[in-house]
Amino acid sequence: AFDLTEDRSLIVSGELVNMSEQTKQIPRVMVLLKNDQAVELQREYVMLSQDTIHPKQRINFQVTLEDIHPDSAEIEIKAEVNS
């Protein structure tokens, strides 16, 4: 979910879920803002309070991107998973 504030900050929240039967390392999660041609304009990393996620566990996150670029047209949330 996301919310744009009056001061042009973007608050993005979501949930990480471990669908496996094993404890996993939490991936590095980032929020990207892109223009209408898919060019990255801004990036913010999500800071989480733990390193691992247990089977079937859910972890909520929230990150605020301040003073977002006026050409932002797309939000992408990515997780860098280490194999």
Give the DSSP letter string of 16-64: EE--SSS-EEPPEEEEEEE-TT--EEEEEEPP-S-SEE-TT-EEEEEEE
Coil, strand or helix: which one is 2? strand
Q: Is the pLDDT confidence value at 81 over 80? A: no
Label residue 82 by pLDDT band (50, 70, 90). Answer: low
Residues 21/75, Cβ–Cβ less than 8 Å: no
What pLDDT shows up at residue 49? 87
pTM of the shown model: 0.80
Instruction: List, for residues 8-65, the tens digit of each pLDDT value.
Output: 899 999 999 999 999 999 989 999 999 999 999 999 999 898 999 999 999 999 999 9
pLDDT at 80 over 90: no
Is pLDDT of 83 > 80? no
Are 26 and 17 within 8 A, CB to CB? no
